[in-house]
Amino acid sequence: MDKWLYVLKYMSKMDEIPVCLQQPIFQKLFNIAEYINLTKEEQMSYDQDLKNKWDNYSALAYAKEEGERSKAISIARELKKMGLPLDQIAAVIELPIEEIVDVNHS
């Protein structure tokens, strides 16, 4: 409780977070305060940068997922050629049997 009262009373005078307040909750509070003190233009720029960061992260995650799926389909195709049963292929590569049935068309 004392830390909260101290922060609320002196936050506007702090240039950096004191060592005694090096906790995630106070870090978040200081980050919010920094954001609020930005001009409208700076906030818009920050928001756009954050959006770009998450868009890039999502694109990378999607590409990785598609790469893994493509690899799984390639493996399924080879296992199918070897004559393995579809249920075993599905269990090994974690694709639905419906996708394995159509694997030659992918």
18: part of which helix (H) or strand (E)?
A: none
* Global confidence as pTM: 0.58
Contacts of 87 (CB under 8 A, 6+ apart): 97
d(Cα 83, Cα 105) in Å, to the nearest integer?
Answer: 17
CA dihedral sign, ordered 74, 80, 84, 85? positive
Residue where the block lists tokens 């002196």? 10
Task: Report pLDDT digits (tens) over 61-91.
Answer: 999 999 999 999 999 999 989 999 999 999 9
Task: Report pLDDT digits (tens) over 38-49.
Answer: 999 999 999 999
Residue 104 pLDDT exceeds 80: no
For residue 56, the model assigns a pLDDT of 97
Q: How confident is the model at residue 105 (pLDDT cuts 50, 70, 90)?
A: low
Task: Report pLDDT digits (tens) over 2-39.
Answer: 888 988 888 888 888 888 888 899 889 989 989 999 99
